[in-house]
Amino acid sequence: MKNTEGSSEAKRRAGEHAADLVDDGDVVGLGTGSTAAHAIRALGRAVDSGLDVRGIPTSFQSRQLALDAGIPLTSLDAVDGVDIAIDGADQVAERNDGGFDLVKGGGAAHAREKIVDAAAERFVVVADPSKLVDPLDYPVPVEVLPDARPTVAGTVRALGGEPTLRAAAHKDGPVVTDNGNVVLDCDFGPIEDPATLASELAALPGVVEQGLFVGLADAVHVGSADGVEVRGE
Ligand SMILES: O=C[C@H](O)[C@H](O)[C@H](O)COP(=O)(O)O
């Protein structure tokens, strides 16, 4: 379930601005989605011009984009660490402590994204202004093992949420993630306490990953028609 409001020009500016942060020799987490795609393409152009980087994709989509862009790929088990991850978000809320809470997973990639983004020394979010909200108010994507769908859906209802099995656009039946699981989009209305909700969802048996990224991001690059505003850092 995608947040499709933002303009592609704003997304392009944000993605290209964040790609400029990548230094020679860096291991880079390659996020998923239409905004992160601009960063991947910009990195590919930088690689063409001689930048030495290795990318760790977070999805089938970002892997394909990176291969097309000519970015050498690696994996978490082959590197000592990730220098920087650049990734999009469905919504971003600034916290009182200056950090950020996100909802991710509109493209069902949040499980691998969270592994890579959390491993990065610096996690930079790229977004257009339509993504900035206060508080977060977006159905939380919850990736679940197929067998756990009914029990997780029941507990989500007991927690006050409304779960919807994400349907595939060009296939009968549900979206199946890159990991072979299904996604429940869980609508809780405005999310006043993301940390507590994230812990409650993560604790449910059969939940592979939930889409609240609480306090993980170091900065948000917000593109617009006028330029890019950097928040955080
Ligand atoms: O699963 C997908 C990811 O979390 C995306 O980063 C998120 O949906 C934002 O995508 P977009 O930049 O296309 O709005």
pLDDT tens digits, one per residue of 58-77: 999 999 999 999 999 999 99
Percent helix, strand and coil across the chain, each rounded to 5? 30, 30, 40
| Whole-number average pLDDT of the chain | 97
Please calculate the CA angle 104-41-6 and round it to the nearest 5 degrees: 45
ipTM reported for the complex, 2 dp: 0.99
- What is the per-residue pLDDT for 17? 98
Question: Is domain 8-134+214-232 given the CATH code 3.40.50.1360 in the classification?
Answer: yes
Tell me, using a 6 A CB cutoff, whether residue 106 lines ligand 1: yes
Any known ligand binding at 35? yes
Share of the chain above pLDDT 90, in %: 96
Residue range 135-162: mean pLDDT, rounded? 98
Structure tokens at 173: 């039946």
Residue range 39-68: mean pLDDT, rounded? 98
Tell me, using a 6 A CB cutoff, whether residue 34 lines ligand 1: yes
Residue 7 has pLDDT above 90, yes or no: no
Q: How many Å apart are CA 136 and CA 120, to the nearest integer?
A: 24
Domain boundaries, the chain: 8-134+214-232, 140-208
Nearest-atom number in ligand 1 for the CA of 105 is 1
Residue range 162-174: mean pLDDT, rounded? 97
Residue 6 has pLDDT above 80, yes or no: no
Q: How far is the CA of 38 from the centre of ligand 1 (A)?
A: 12
Tell me, using a 6 A CB cutoff, whether residue 36 lines ligand 1: yes
CB atoms near residue 227 (< 10 Å): 11
Residue with the larger pLDDT of the pair 174 and 225: 174
- What is the per-residue pLDDT for 3? 67
Tell me, using a 6 A CB cutoff, whether residue 110 lines ligand 1: yes
CB burial readout 101-126, b (16+ within 10 A) else e: bbbbbbbbbbbbbbbbbebbebbbbb
- pLDDT bucket at 233, cuts 50 / 70 / 90: confident
Catalytic residues: 113
For residue 216, how many C-alpha atoms fall within 13 Å in the half-sphere facing its CB? 29
Q: Please check whether residue 184 is in contact with residue 142, taking contact to mean a CB–CB distance below 8 angstroms.
A: yes
Q: Give CATH superfamily name and number for 140-208.
A: ACT domain (3.30.70.260)
The Cα-based distances of 33 to 38, 65, 206 in angstroms read 9, 11, 25
Q: Is the pTM higher than 0.90? A: yes
Residue range 182-201: mean pLDDT, rounded? 98
Sequence-separated (6 or more) residues with CB below 8 Å from residue 121: 81, 82, 83, 84
Any known ligand binding at 87? yes
